[in-house]
Amino acid sequence: MKFNTKTIHGNQKHDPSTGAVMPPIYQTSTYAQESPGKHKGFEYSRTGNPTRSALENAFASIENGQFGFAFASGLAAIDAVIKLLNPGDEVISTSDLYGGTYRIFTKVFEKYGIKFHFTDLSNVAILEELINDNTKLIWVETPTNPMLNIIDIEAVVAIAKNKNILVAVDNTFATPYLQQPLDFGADIVMHSATKYLGGHSDVVMGALVVNDKELSEKLYFLQNASGAICGPMDSFLVLRGLKTLHVRMQRHCENASVIAKYLKNHSKIENVYWPGLTTHSNHHIAKKQMNDFGGMLSFSTKYNQKRDAIKVVENLKLFTLAESLGGVESLSGHPASMTHASIPKEEREKTGVTDSLIRLSVGIEDVADLLEDLKQALSKI
Ligand code: P1T
């Protein structure tokens, strides 16, 4: 089955009791048992719920995996992955990544004895220097949030494989429409399903997909034991969103391409970060591992002035100034003071997240209106 069919039909079946084409929202916490332990496959909704199962099956299908898991948020999904580890274990992570991921690694898990190394993984050779006997996980975010760096997943997997190190890929920015990390040999693919998978800025959710049965059993245990599951209504909404993922992503990519090129030629712009530009430092890797280049881009204004960046985001009208991304509507953000404020200034500036950086989540509106909006906002500086 091709990807554009999988988003609609992948691992889905009509409701067995009524034939309902969409799975009903099974708004129930528990299920009747005929005799202790004798039931129809569901016993308690933390452990399993039919609407959530339908979504988890869809997640697995679109990521070319065997087992899907839905969580209460992207961070809850990340939490489950790190709980696979033990005190003394070490993680190597890309240094340019979502601020909340950095925060859970450093502020939550370090105190349980897990050590995190942050490095620029667009240079995979660095892994050979950092890997030791305690290294158990490599955390890859590609494209990175918010600098849109690209990490070569196959190259990371090649280094990790014979060393028994798990490779997890946060695929939030790309979505499986653009890249399927399990096909490159990654062990775990993770999503903030809040973003493109849901696609309509109305749900907070996380996802994990794996192929390995033993790993899936460990994650299933953690999902149930820690309990950060999502509810049936949210499961329904994300399943509905998924059905248009391919058409939305196509338009996100087209619009971002037009906007990236416009900004690149704008006299008031210093740098544009979008992996589809031939001038992007990892463009060749993006071309190799992605089907297109995505709807996220960042840029910095000339002279590196925070006040200019603030003025631009304040003046944008169609691009709503807001956290999050990946919905049908365009959003703007100022990472240094919003999504990445939890990373110390010296750390984030090392990766390029300066006070003059603006991030855009390019929506699927008419691109002429989006260009007009950027033009008027940039004319204010
Ligand atoms: O917000 P939540 O669903 O918990 O997902 C966390 C997360 C994980 N990974 C990536 C790459 C992310 O971008 C996010 C959430 N990011 C934002 C809210 C943001 O505006 O960047």
The reported pLDDT for the residue numbered 304 is 79
Q: Are 118 and 93 in contact (CB under 8 A)?
A: yes
Domains 3-242 and 245-378 share a fold: no
Strand 90-94 vs strand 115-119: parallel, antiparallel, or unpaired? Answer: parallel
Q: Which atom of ligand 1 is nearest to the CA of 75?
A: 4
Q: How far apart are the first and last CA of the chain?
A: 50
Predicted confidence band of residue 14 (pLDDT cuts 50, 70, 90):
very high
CA-based nearest residue to 299, from 326, 324, 333, 323:
333
Nearest 5°: the CA angle 351, 141, 69 is 150
Residue 237 has pLDDT above 80, yes or no: yes
Predicted confidence band of residue 16 (pLDDT cuts 50, 70, 90):
confident
Predicted confidence band of residue 85 (pLDDT cuts 50, 70, 90):
very high
Q: Which residue has a Cα nearest atom 13 of ligand 1?
A: 98
Respond yes or no: is residue 103 known to be catalytic: no
Percent of the chain with pLDDT over 90: 96
d(CA 42, ligand 1 centre) in Å:
31
Q: Which atom of ligand 1 is nearest to the CA of 193?
A: 3
Domain boundaries, the chain: 3-242, 245-378
Q: Which residue has a Cα nearest atom 1 of ligand 1?
A: 74
Percent of the chain with pLDDT over 70: 100
Out of 170, 292, 308, 355, pick the active-site residue.
170
The reported pLDDT for the residue numbered 342 is 86
245-378 CATH choice from 3.40.50.620, 3.40.50.300, 3.90.1150.10, 3.50.50.60: 3.90.1150.10
Mean pLDDT of the chain: 97
Q: Which residue has a Cα nearest atom 4 of ligand 1?
A: 74
Out of 46, 83, 103, 302, pick the active-site residue.
46
The reported pLDDT for the residue numbered 165 is 98
d(CA 330, ligand 1 centre) in Å:
16
pTM value surpassing 0.95: yes
Residue 303 has pLDDT above 80, yes or no: no
Pocket of ligand 1 (CB under 6 A): 73-75, 98, 100-101, 141, 145, 170, 172, 192, 194, 204, 206, 323-325, 339
Q: What is the pLDDT of residues 124-148, one digit of tens each?
A: 999 999 999 999 999 999 999 999 9
The three-state (H, E, C) secondary structure of 291-321, written as one string: CCCCCEEEEEEHHHCHHHHHHHHHHCCCCEE
CA-based nearest residue to 24, from 239, 243, 244:
239
Residue 10 has pLDDT above 90, yes or no: yes
Tell me the one-letter amino acid at 300. Answer: S
Mean pLDDT of 18-36: 96
Backbone torsions φ then ψ of 30, nearest 5 degrees? -145, 175
Q: Ligand 1 pocket test: pick from 150, 192, 204 the residue with the most ligand atoms within 8 Å of its Cβ.
A: 192
* Interatomic CA distance for residues 308 and 6, integer angstroms: 44
The reported pLDDT for the residue numbered 363 is 98
What's the chain's Rg over C-alpha atoms?
21
Predicted confidence band of residue 162 (pLDDT cuts 50, 70, 90):
confident
The residues, ordered by sequence, that sit 6+ positions from 33 with a Cβ below 8 Å of its Cβ are 39, 43
Respond yes or no: is residue 273 known to be catalytic: no
Q: What is the pLDDT of residues 55-71, one digit of tens each?
A: 999 999 999 999 999 99
CATH no. of 3-242:
3.40.640.10
Q: Ligand 1 pocket test: pick from 95, 172, 238 the residue with the most ligand atoms within 8 Å of its Cβ.
A: 172
The reported pLDDT for the residue numbered 58 is 98
Residue 154 has pLDDT above 90, yes or no: yes
Q: What is the pLDDT of residues 318-327, one digit of tens each?
A: 999 999 999 9
Mean pLDDT of 18-28: 96
